[in-house]
Structures are given as structure tokens and as C-alpha cells.
Amino acid sequence: MSPGLAVEPGMGLAALGIELRLWLFDLDAWDGAADGLPDAVTQRATRFVRDVDRRRYLASQAALRRVLGVCQAPWPIGTHGKPALADGPPHFNLSRRDGWALVGVSSTHELGVDIETLRAIDDAQELARLHFTPRERDAVTDTEAFLQVWTRKEACMKATGLGLSLPPSSFECGAEPAPARVRIATPSRNWLLLLNTPKVAAPAVVSWAVVLA
């Protein structure tokens, strides 16, 4: 696999005490070797029906371990399925779609990342109606706008570790690809997140979110 392309988070994070690094990987550039990948990973890969999906999954796991510099697995899994290193930070998150993967790492904050490739989505309006807030729905004028909201939602849901247990329509993240502070109220906690959608050198939309409080 070719080295990951560093992604600029798009904000002056150091002044906020946030350390965040992002890498974009072309999964189809992977050489296919599974050396060093744990048995749990290679066994899971056998569940994929299509060979291309199996190769891309293995490539994404190899990319993640290259960034983290560790081969241990399985690592501890949180209540809602978010993985972590056994000995604590750095926090990390992985997202993949088609032939691309985004890896985010932070030594200071819990985070979530999401990537979606630019493609036609026939039911974008229906998905927006089901999962977006009214203002977000009004802003969905094309596929890219839809994916901007979608990746921002996913990044927030992954950063909190709540995943799909957090209804996407229950919070507003904004449709513009710009930095935003997002508040999410749940019965157990009031979350505050910092969110952004930086540009990348790929036919994709990516977003990241870190937990501030």
C-alpha cells in the first residue's frame, strides 16, 4: 500500500489544546499481503462475499495498524462497538467507503471520522427526510450537500461512541462544510463536539469530530 496522504484538519486546533492527525488511504493500491494482521481480522475478512470488498477491508486494517504502529487485536470494544487501545490514548477512528479509507488519531480527545465517495444516491431526499433536521433537509440541493451532512452526522455519532443508538435527526450539525460546535443532549450526558469537513485530494467527502465536553 502506498503511504497514506496526510489530510489537513482545516482549523487552528493547537490553540484549543487539540492534537488531531488525519490520513487518507487508497485501498486499491494495497499489495494484498496480510502479514502482521491478527487472525481475528483475517477471519472476519472471509465473511465478505466479493473479493474486492475482502481486499479493501484487509487494506483498511493494514492502514490503521500502520498509522498506530501496533498489530495487537482484537482491541477492547466499547459498549456501542467503538474500538480502543488497551493501554489508553491515542484515540483513533477508521472509516472506509469503496476504495478509500480515512484514519484519524488524537492523543488528546475522543474522535470520530467518516468518509463517503461522491456518487449518485437516488434516495438522498428520502434519507434526508428520515435522518436530517428540517434546516439540514432544506440545504440538501445535490448529492454533495447530502454527503456533507451525512458524514458530519456520522463523525459526531462515532465520536460520542453512541453510534446508531443516537438518532441522527436528534441533533443538528449543519450542512455547510465549515467548522461548527455541535451540542447533543442525551439522557445520560450533554455532549459538546467540534466538527469540520475539510477538502481532500480524492472523489470523496470527509468529516471529523472531536469531543470537547
- Model pLDDT, residue 185: 96
Which CATH number belongs to the domain containing residue 141 in this structure? 3.90.470.20
Domain enclosing residue 38, as ranges: 5-211
- The DSSP code sequence of 174-185 is -SSSS-EEEEEE
- pLDDT, position 50: 97
- Over range 29-41, report the average pLDDT: 84
Please give the average per-residue pLDDT across 83-94, as a whole number.
Answer: 89
Q: How far is CA 85 from CA 8, 103, 150, in A?
A: 24, 15, 27
> Would you say residue 74 has pLDDT above 70?
no
**E strand or H helix at 206:** strand 204-211
Strand bridging mode 91-97 / 180-185: unpaired
Specify the pLDDT at position 72: 64
Q: What is the pLDDT of residue 2?
A: 62
Average pLDDT over residues 149-167: 95
**CA pair distance 188, 44, nearest whole angstrom:** 33
The pLDDT tens digits for 116-150 are 999 999 999 999 999 999 999 999 999 999 999 99
Q: How many domains does the chain have?
A: 1
**pLDDT number for residue 26:** 96
- With cell 485501498, the residue in question is 27
Lowest mean pLDDT among 2-6, 23-27, 104-108, 199-203: 2-6
